[in-house]
Chains A and B, each alone.
Chain A
Amino acid sequence: MVSFETHMALNRLYADYALAVDSGQWDLWPEFFTEQCVYKLIPRENHERGFPLCTLSFTSKGMLKDRVYGIQETLYHDPYYQRHVVGAPVVRRVDGERIHSEANYAVFRTKLDQPSTVFNVGRYIDTIVQTPEGLKFAERLCVFDSEMIPNAIIYPI
């Protein structure tokens, strides 16, 4: 479906994304997306029942940057580490330049002085495009099983 090189690049994209959003360097996150991107964090129930409400719904890279500002400057929250474990991406189909792929993910949260807990588990449903700077997400849906959110989600999934 895709060349070996593209498949390698895709794996690299998923791994880089996980490392970036776990690094605490929030400015890295928007750079994985195209300018006119879609990023949605959506409970599995809404996704499967066709309800449009998301926990977060961003439709431009600018909105992702606004979220980064929110994390850094406006959202009061308990600091925590997060750690993504992402399964191998599966390419579902390719139409033209757009790769449609999916992967399971689990995010663990570790609050200061607390044990690590399972925070958010789900599935990425992605549309990825080739750009001069390499592969980027045109769309990333994070459809999560962990519908009962442990209080608040502050950092990017």
Chain B
Amino acid sequence: MREQPIHWETDGTSRVPFAVYTDEDLHKKELVRFFYKNHWSYVGLEAEIPNPGDFKRTVVGERSVIMTRADDGQVHVVENVCAHRGMQFCRERHGNKKEFVCPYHQWSYKLQGDLQGVPFRRGVRQDGKVNGGMPADFDPKSHGLTALKVATRGGVVFASFDHGVESLEDYMGPTILRYFDRLFNGRKLVLLGYNRQRIPGNWKLMQENIKDPYHPGLLHTWFVTFGLWRADNKSELRMDAHHRHAAMISTRGSAGQATGDKAQVTQVSSFKESMQLNDASFLDIVPEPWWQLGDQMPTAVMMTLFPSVIFQQQVNSVSTRHIQPDGHGAFDFVWTHFGFEDDTPEMTERRLRQSNLFGPAGFVSADDGEVIEFSQQAFETKPEHRMLVELGGRDVGETDHMVTETLIRGMYAYWRQVMEA
């Protein structure tokens, strides 16, 4: 075990120690405190399992789980660990089954996880006597698969190993719930497909990436040049009361060179004044009625739900991005793109075309994974060092601009509260 607690230079969280990304014991403690207790994790969309018997294998933290729809139409999430010898019996990533059977000794379970069959439970009769069998007091009811608590809202499925966890709505809090309900407003979702990437960096760095409105208008040329996301856009940063979840809300401004007071936002090397697309259909953006929220019409809302998921609306491209840790130094990042049941074929095409900006090869997102990898490389070489997160001050609070790293400070304020308890 680590001898020294993590050293923070200040009482606040504007100097984040590299050691929060490099320590395996700390990582295991994070898994317990953030993924296995007191928190909800994203597991998928109801649209992925539309019919009774459908299942999808995924993870909560680093534990393998299966999201299923039982005969009663209800969504269940069970752990992919046989109650007998612990084997991860489900190997398919998706499918349709009437029951789960562990091939090792053929213990069988209902989709809800109830144990229903144990071969040779009552022994094997041979030459007039019964050999073996389970003890007389063996009770199948107490040996089902571990069933997680499940909550669904707007077609999105969350699960928790902790049956005492607060309601999903309380977990999100009213501020974040409002943005969640804007995107998942009850329309049926249509699955468009998946992208998967393995990023060799600590999982928190991906939460931070989407709590960092400083970088998109600098790292991502497309965003700054075409005005999709940059510091002179009308924007807001919102958080839940614990500062663990956040929403970055932005409304697309003008493309091209900014003038006057705002000129500095395009005086960066990533801005390409002469950049012209050969094919402008990448940016064939059509506003949708559901974007409206109060008197606002945001073109981008990026939500981070701590610890496991990001919900993306970037113009017409909508997706969930599932963070799946694998040790302290890597995570799998699974993108699920979707549309809505009332989308026209043209809108579906548009969402698919705009998805070229995102994902592991995207014009915008490919470099996010790269910078995370190179950050982790440095952390590993000097864990006693720390980063500087002081744009916009050293405190934590909501803002009506994006020239701040307040959301990262907020996340670490929550992190310290939970991890130092």
Contacts and interface: CB of A to CB of B under 8 A. Distances in A.
Contact of A148 (B272, B332, B367): B332
Interface in A48-107: 49, 51-63, 65-67, 69-70, 73-78
A152 interface: yes
Contact of B352 (A49, A53, A60): A53
Contact of B196 (A41, A43, A63): A43
Interface in B248-277: 270, 272, 275, 277
B374 interface: yes
B370 A78 contact: yes
B355 interface: yes
B86 interface: no
B337 to A, nearest CB: 5
A45 interface: yes
A75 B368 CA distance: 10
Given A77-B366, A152-B361, A53 B282 contact: no
B194 A51 contact: yes
Interface string A136-154: 0000000000011111111
Interface string B341-368: 0000000100011011001110100110
A46 interface: yes
B278 A62 contact: yes
Contacts of B281: 59-60, 63
Contacts of B220: 74
B194 A60 contact: no
Interface residues of A, number: 37
Contacts of A55: 195, 359-361
Interface size class of B (residues with CB under 8 A): 35 or more
A55 B366 CA distance: 11
Given A149-B197, A152-B366, A65 B361 contact: no
B93 interface: yes
A149 B195 contact: yes
Given A43-B194, A45-B194, A65-B278, A58 B356 contact: yes
Contacts of B370: 76-78, 151-152
A51 B192 contact: yes
Interface in A110-154: 147-154
B192 A53 contact: yes
A53 B337 CA distance: 7
Contacts of A75: 363, 366-367
A46 B193 contact: yes
A55 B335 CA distance: 10
Contact of B360 (A46, A63, A152): A152
Contacts of B194: 43, 45-46, 51, 53, 147
Contacts of B199: 151
B195 to A, nearest CB: 6
B68 to A, nearest CB: 18
A75 B365 CA distance: 9
Contacts of B369: 151-152
Given A53-B195, A149-B197, A151-B197, A74 B221 contact: yes
Nearest to B270: A74
B195 A43 contact: yes
Interface string B268-300: 001010010111011000000000000000000
Contacts of B191: 51
A148 B361 contact: no
B311 interface: no
Interface string B54-92: 000000000000000000000000000000000000000
Contact of A151 (B200, B219, B221): B200
A66 B192 contact: no
Q: Among the interface residues B221, B278, B348, which one has the most CB atoms of the partner chain A within 10 A?
A: B278
B284 to A, nearest CB: 12
Contacts of B352: 52-54, 57
Nearest to B348: A52
Contact of B278 (A63, A152, A153): A63
B379 interface: no
Contacts of B353: 57, 59
Nearest to B220: A74
Contact of B366 (A62, A148, A153): A153
Nearest to A150: B198
B95 to A, nearest CB: 11
Given A147-B196, A151-B197, A57 B356 contact: yes
B383 to A, nearest CB: 22
A5 B120 CA distance: 67
Interface in B3-54: none
Interface of A: 41, 43, 45-46, 49, 51-63, 65-67, 69-70, 73-78, 147-154
26 contacts: A51-B191, A51-B194, A53-B192, A53-B194, A53-B355, A54-B352, A54-B355, A62-B277, A62-B279, A63-B279, A63-B281, A65-B278, A74-B222, A74-B270, A74-B272, A75-B363, A76-B219, A148-B196, A149-B198, A150-B197, A151-B197, A151-B370, A152-B197, A152-B366, A153-B360, A154-B366
Given A41-B361, A154-B366, 11 more contacts: A53-B193, A53-B194, A55-B361, A56-B356, A56-B361, A60-B281, A66-B277, A69-B275, A147-B194, A151-B197, A151-B198
